[in-house]
Amino acid sequence: MRILLLGEYSNVHATLALGLRRLGHTVTVVSNGDFWKDYPRDIDVSRKEGKLGGIALLLKVVSLLPRLTGYDIVQLINPMFLELKAERIAPIYRFLKKHNKRVVLGAFGMDYYWVKTCTYDKPLRYSDFNIGTHVRTDDVAEKDRRDWLGTPKGRLNEEIATTCDGIVTELYEYDVCYRPLFPEKTQFIPPPIVLPDKPCGQITAVHKPLRLFIGISKGRSRYKGTDIMLAAAKAVKEKYPDDIDLIVANGVPFDEYSRMLDGSDLLMDQLYSYTPGMNALLAMSKGIVVIGGGEPENYEIIHEDRLRPIINVLPSFQSVFEELEKVVLNPTRVVRLKEESVEYVRKHHDYMKVAREYESFYRKLLNNQDT
């Protein structure tokens, strides 16, 4: 198959491309590298700052369009798959839909259905936009609502979801937002990870003191719950000063983040998630135990009935403190969880396994079109 992967989040498309190419497919990745993360791509569509940057990008994309035709599959990372206004992206999407066989929408992150469903329907016990029946009103949540609800971005998302040929969800949270509305075209496929040849650091032992890592994103700490995570970690560190070495990466570039993470025993991930995302899975592939989203639904959707490598926490200071204290008081438990973490990623997220799942889904879409 000829496959075009448009846009990038957390190295998903670049990693998927590696697997699909090994399966014999011709794959082109067109993206901005996910901004400063600068992930690999075949054609760069980064935008320079300012209005002139937007005009230059639009002209570049228009000049590229003849090369973005005749593909068997076009997969979009998100409705906003280019750094352009939704009004500019809409005709580009329609062109791609007309001049390629199948178009797939990725439900991999922030979009209209995620914002709307979590704000109004609330199928999740907690999320970026709700805690139980309470709607979150922090600045970032409110900004995302203004961006997506009743706006051109939201309408673009609705158009693409309605008219595309397939929708891929990579986390349980996104699946519950799309599947009820588009049951026939929605397919869950977990994120792809290239496992290291050997895990970083010690798998069969833990450090003394335990190395606990937390990354802070500028401006999104409260939104993602890392403010609560960090406060709980500091409280446990204060109570057990000789048992924890707390490593904080505050707004550092991705390469530096990765170097600081290597050799850690534990990673404190997002507080309001049910499932591990790409950063958490990368850590797990290295034998680092994740404290974050490991709800029962995460294991159910991938049919995992044995492995439980993630230390699941609820969105509260007390829950994080208690779970972290349990680890400090029983550090030998971390060794088992390290081993399970690597096994879990290898079993469910190995990039070749995931690429085969995509291959099967793509072939199904093409067969449906041809009949």
In a domain, 109, yes or no: yes
In a domain, 261, yes or no: yes
| 149 in the same domain as 44 | yes
Asked if residues 192 and 16 have their Cβ atoms less than 8 Å apart, the reply is yes
| 48 in the same domain as 16 | yes
| 160 in the same domain as 49 | yes
| 323 in the same domain as 276 | yes
Strand boundaries in the chain, DSSP class E: 2-6, 26-31, 43-44, 73-76, 102-107, 130-131, 134-135, 166-169, 186-188, 210-216, 244-250, 266-268, 289-292, 311-312
pLDDT at 266: 96
Asked if residues 327 and 210 have their Cβ atoms less than 8 Å apart, the reply is yes
Domain count for the chain: 2
In a domain, 198, yes or no: no
**pLDDT tens readout for residues 10-27:** 899 999 999 999 999 999
pLDDT at 219: 63
Place of tokens 């066989």: 101
| 30 in the same domain as 175 | yes
| 183 in the same domain as 229 | no
| 173 in the same domain as 105 | yes
Q: Which helix (H) or strand (E) holds 269?
A: none
| 261 in the same domain as 182 | no
Structural domain boundaries, residue 32: 2-192+351-370
Instruction: Tell me the three state secondary structure of residue 6.
Output: strand
The CB-side HSE value for 94 (13 A sphere, CA atoms) comes to 8
Residues in the chain: 371
CA 130 vs CA 108, 115, 268, 365: distances in Å: 19, 10, 21, 35
pLDDT at 220: 65
In a domain, 247, yes or no: yes
**pLDDT tens readout for residues 223-256:** 688 899 999 999 999 999 999 999 998 877 777 8
In a domain, 309, yes or no: yes
Q: What is the pTM of this model?
A: 0.93
Q: What proportions of the chain, in percent to the nearest 5, are helix, strand and coil?
A: 45, 15, 35
| 145 in the same domain as 16 | yes
For 123, the token pair is 């199928």
| 242 in the same domain as 159 | no
Asked if residues 96 and 164 have their Cβ atoms less than 8 Å apart, the reply is no
Given a cut of 70, the residues of the chain with pLDDT beneath it are 199-202, 204, 218-221, 223, 369-371
| 219 in the same domain as 79 | no
**What would the 3-class secondary structure string for 250-267 be?**
ECCCHHHHHHHHCCCCEE
pLDDT at 180: 98
- Rounded Cα gap, residues 23 and 192, in angstroms: 14
Amino acid at residue number 184? E
- Rounded Cα gap, residues 158 and 162, in angstroms: 6
Instruction: Tell me the three state secondary structure of residue 135.
Output: strand
Q: Which CATH number does the domain housing residue 60 bear?
A: 3.40.50.2000
| 304 in the same domain as 336 | yes
pLDDT at 254: 73
pLDDT at 371: 39
Residue 137 class from Cβ within 10 Å (0-12 exposed, 13-18 middle, 19+ buried)?
Answer: exposed
In a domain, 205, yes or no: no
